Structure 1
Amino acid sequence: MTRIFNGGMDRRGFMAGTAGVALAASMPRAAKAAPKRGGHLRVAIGHGQTTDTLNPGTYSNSFMTSVSFPIHGRLTEVTADGALIPEVAESWEASADASVWRFKVRSGVTFHSGKTVTATDVANSINFHRGENSTSAAGPLVAPITDIATEGDDMVIFTLDGGNADFPFILSDYHLTICKADGDSIDWRSGDGCGSYVLKNFNPGVSCTMERNPNHWRDDVAWFDSAEIIAIVDQNARTTALVSGDVDVADRLDLKTVGLLARNPNIQINSVAGTQHYTFAMDTRSDPFSNNHARLALKYAVDRQQLVDKILFGYGSVGNDHPIGQGQRFYNSELEQRAYDPDKAKWHLQQAGLDKLEVRLSAADAAFVGAVDAAVLYQAAADNAGISVTPVREPNDGYWSDVWMKKPFAAVYWSGRSVEDQMFSTAYQCGAAWNDSFWCSERFDELMVKARSELDEARRREMYHEMQAIVANDGGVVIPMFANYVFGNSTKVAHSDQLGSNWDVDGMRFIERWWMA
């Protein structure tokens, strides 16, 4: 075996991550004092629906992600600066071809019920997402695993169907929680985790409360005595709660008024560039989206810069119809940037055998803030190309269960992923549970398998570049913009200047990492 990791893995040495630095828009403040324990954190999250469950395979929004990270542990963790560190795993090593990975389970880690975390718990937790009958959103991530074995109580051996240099990063995914073994499966219903906070109350789509775990193995996290997460999908209500002091943190701020909000001396505004992107997903199984010329017509009919200016108010950048961010290791900077071009859109309509195109575009703030306005702007721009886009305002509650992947053309937000393979296998692999355009490409899937096992970086880059080009030119998703994470916190709350960009609000680790000022 070849030792890969035992301590801190620098992202520059192994994997260029997507960390971002918070841009504080508030008034300058004195240097932060060292973290201290105490206080109750109140958080308003702009997601959450009554169909949410504690089943880790079903997590699909920021409400559940913010609940999951504090109460559950994972084998690995992506830090605020994009490095990979051990969490429930103490160390790991890989075979020379990166197809067999041995993870040593950290000693002294216990579930909130008091049971010691063992290799069996880890194996069952990952196996929970595997298998032909799995409906887990993490199914594609663990599909390359052909076998999971244990040695004693503290060693888990993963055998893959090929080499995968990114495998430890994949195990940091928020779905891959370590839960207590229950027969051949896991006990997820009780919420009995091994994280730094203990779940006290869970009201799906409404609220969640938790208290610090006094028996947690780490002493550098979990500074608050307790925390409460409140689902407030309405943006005005969420912002008002932050301004009034009813909550200490609010995500997904109104970018139209964030400049005004920044003048409030009691609020800090944070803007972090990362992999978050907003999309319009087309169901490629149905007409007209089954025709790639029709899809390309829709891609040329959207004014990307206008959306960045009027929806993101400059807090982001134009997208190029693929999900890989500019800061990622294998971003294809050589791919021609697609621009708004009504004439090209008309040409593609002609190639599709159409003289006009009429589509309905479902949107709601639950998809992303400003999604309905974005659909209206799309409508105006597409009209110049002979395309009629009719915006359909959908209800916020139930959007992810009743609209996303149900309606043929819908607005979607994606947080992105730490590594390219993770993003592609989650949302673009043929048959993946979250492939929201139901798109399939034999060449793309072939490259995806080859790229993850290719250890020569130059050849790997070529493969990922081609994959981005395939998605941009043939895929079923319009990706017009990448959006910064913009969130606010009361100055009563403190955090590091370095904020994670792999997910929203400090990588969704804010409850563990932040403290009362």
Structure 2
Amino acid sequence: MDARLGRLDRRSFLKAASALGITAALSLSTANRVFAQTPKKGGHFRIGTGGGSTTDTYDPGTYNNSVLRMIAGSVCNYLMEVDSRGEATPELAESVETVDGLRFIIKLRKGIEFHNGKTFGPEDVIASYNHHRGEGSTSAVKGLMSQITEIKADGPSTVVLSLSAPNADFPAILSDYHLPIFAADGDRIDTSQMVGTGGYTISSNEPGVRAILQRHPNYWREGRGNFDSAEILVVADVVANTNALISGEVDAIEGCDVSTVDLLVKREGIKILEVTGKQYNSMLMFTDVEPFTDNKVRLALKHAIDREAIVKSVLKGYGKVGNDNPITPSYRFYNDQLAQRVYDPDKAKFLLKQAGHDSLEVELSTSAAAFTGAVDVAVLFKEQAAAAGINVSIKREPDDGYWANVWQKKPFIMGSMLGRATADWMFSTSFASDASWNDTHWKNERFNLLLKQARSEVDDTKRKEMYFEMQQIVHDEGGTIVHSLPSLVDAVNDKVQHGPLASNLNLDGNRCIDRWWFA
């Protein structure tokens, strides 16, 4: 088999797909959740979250916070969803079949209606996916979806999707939160509103403030859509969010303040939900803007941060140290042979000297919206970097609009990234040269070549070698300082019930409204 020529036999593809936890024919029965008890209907579920912005829109290509993800995951469904094992399982798809990893036959569930009464069919999938593929598309997943060369209907309940090269990971991509299925409006989707097939409709929405959802009476998923209504409240201040849970103003909060989470542990009637995921916290440098164009400067900054202190002081032990690698230990093909980068101000000074600097002045933009504790990390880094002759000027940015106005706009900022199902997906999202979310403007020819080759390689040994080398390149040359790997920590009152929790995002993959219920 020569993967570069796109030849992949069925046996080889099945071997690769099976190793990823994806079968060639995925049955909806594998996606059914087993609950400890039968879910009950009723109640008004209130969530407090620091996500959400006044700039939010319903355009799925722009989703970049938890409010939009929760709304989309409640009002809409996806062809695939991520389960509690981190695997992609069918949702609106009934099955996904392939012979060669190039051509996927997707059988759709029958008898499902959108909230406007339209029957769900192939045209909705095609319009929803083409929204991210067009020449003028600015979607965050345009790069991921560009591998689709053709998407067409084959009868009333089948979609045939062809790729430019074999990709054993492709079914997992269809679970991305940017890819909800909207009702087709001609050959397009109407992004001024959200018309889906999910358990809820939008009663009202004031971006950056609150959204109220009402249960749709004809939801097709058994055991889902249990609350009568749900309310998502944007509370950027984590202390206020915590107090809202304690006082009973909300039933759940997303992203606990780990500095005070022990106080919640001691509170009667409150449960802490902690899961280990694939997310990471970072500092992002534009590698095409001085002084970050010089890799010696980038390395100096990577050695000027005390990761252990951040995990201890800011995460309070709810996480692990990062190693300038977005592929965390939870991923298949994680490179466990990378030397752990440690705080070494003397080495940072030496690297700066090699780059022609006796000292360095940098401005670091930060906000609580970047991640919980981002401002505290910036303050710590300022103190730590000073020992290396690096003077960090902290720019406290407004929480509202941080991801729209600062991220990918300013050259040195605090950032964070949610986990993805596969290493290829993570790299393709933010590290490929042509990625829409290439938030460090980093370009590396060798990395890009390996990324394409590994995507279609079915020999596990060769594939592992490729991903190991890619992680080494990012670790040594990338513009992302991955300083910590936080656990996902949420809190709920004891009325809230749930099944096994997904670990791809907070609050059960940000689908708590769809999946949970009251006792």
TM-score in terms of structure 1 length: 0.93
Partner of 2:265: 262
Asked whether the equivalents of residues 284 and 413 of structure 2 are also in contact (C-alpha less than 8 Å), the reply is: yes
Match for residue 371 of structure 2 among 362, 368, 373: 368
Partner of 2:80: 76
* Residues 333/3 of structure 1: CA separation in 2 closer, same or farther (3 Å cut): closer
In 1, Cα distance between the equivalents of 2:11 and 2:45? 40
- Where do residues 52-91 of structure 1 align in structure 2 (5 Å cutoff)? 52-91=56-95
Partner of 2:476: 473
Asked whether the equivalents of residues 4 and 94 of structure 1 are also in contact (C-alpha less than 8 Å), the reply is: no
Q: Deviations over 1:9-58 (max 9, x none)?
A: 9887449xxxxxxxxxxxxxxx9643211111000111111000000000
Q: Deviations over 1:179-232 (max 9, x none)?
A: 111222112222111112222212111111112222222112111111111111
Q: Deviations over 1:383-427 (max 9, x none)?
A: 111111122111101111111111111001211211111111111
Match for residue 53 of structure 2 among 34, 49, 53: 49
In 2, Cα distance between the equivalents of 1:452 and 1:185? 30
Match for residue 149 of structure 2 among 143, 146, 150: 146
- Where do residues 347-366 of structure 1 align in structure 2 (5 Å cutoff)? 347-366=350-369
- Where do residues 64-213 of structure 1 align in structure 2 (5 Å cutoff)? 64-96=68-100, 98-213=101-216
Percent identity reads 47
Q: Deviations over 1:323-363 (max 9, x none)?
A: 11101111100111111111221121122111111101111
- The CA RMSD measured in Å over matched residues stands at 1.9
In 2, Cα distance between the equivalents of 1:240 and 1:212? 27
In 1, Cα distance between the equivalents of 2:12 and 2:249? 46
Match for residue 409 of structure 2 among 390, 406, 410: 406
In 2, Cα distance between the equivalents of 1:425 and 1:33? 39
In 1, Cα distance between the equivalents of 2:193 and 2:183? 10
Q: Deviations over 1:467-498 (max 9, x none)?
A: 111111111111100000111001111122x3
Structure 2 residue identity aligned to 1:489 = V
1:291 is displaced (CA, Å) by: 0.8
Say if 2:512 is the partner of 1:514. no
* Residues 487/54 of structure 1: CA separation in 2 closer, same or farther (3 Å cut): same
Say if 2:223 is the partner of 1:220. yes
Structure 2 residue identity aligned to 1:45 = T
Structure 2 residue identity aligned to 1:515 = W
SS at match of 2:391: strand
* Unmatched tracts of structure 2, length 5 or more: 1-8, 24-34
Partner of 1:19: none
1:132 is displaced (CA, Å) by: 2.9
Asked whether the equivalents of residues 12 and 458 of structure 2 are also in contact (C-alpha less than 8 Å), the reply is: no
Match for residue 41 of structure 2 among 37, 40, 46: 37
Partner of 1:21: none
Asked whether the equivalents of residues 219 and 225 of structure 2 are also in contact (C-alpha less than 8 Å), the reply is: no
Partner of 1:24: none
* Unmatched tracts of structure 1, length 5 or more: 16-30
Asked whether the equivalents of residues 367 and 399 of structure 1 are also in contact (C-alpha less than 8 Å), the reply is: yes
Structure 2 residue identity aligned to 1:257 = T
SS at match of 2:150: strand
SS at match of 2:414: strand
SS at match of 1:499: coil
1:166 is displaced (CA, Å) by: 0.7
Asked whether the equivalents of residues 10 and 84 of structure 1 are also in contact (C-alpha less than 8 Å), the reply is: no
Q: Deviations over 1:227-277 (max 9, x none)?
A: 111111111111111110000000111111110111111110111111111
SS at match of 1:468: helix
Match for residue 272 of structure 1 among 263, 275, 279: 275
Choose 32-41 or 360-369, whichever is displaced more: 32-41
Structure 2 residue identity aligned to 1:66 = M
Asked whether the equivalents of residues 21 and 87 of structure 2 are also in contact (C-alpha less than 8 Å), the reply is: no
In 1, Cα distance between the equivalents of 2:417 and 2:404? 16
* Residues 220/129 of structure 1: CA separation in 2 closer, same or farther (3 Å cut): same
Structure 1 residue identity aligned to 2:422 = V
Structure 1 residue identity aligned to 2:49 = I
Structure 1 residue identity aligned to 2:313 = K
Match for residue 254 of structure 2 among 233, 251, 256: 251
Partner of 2:28: none
1:314 is displaced (CA, Å) by: 0.4
In 1, Cα distance between the equivalents of 2:172 and 2:449? 21
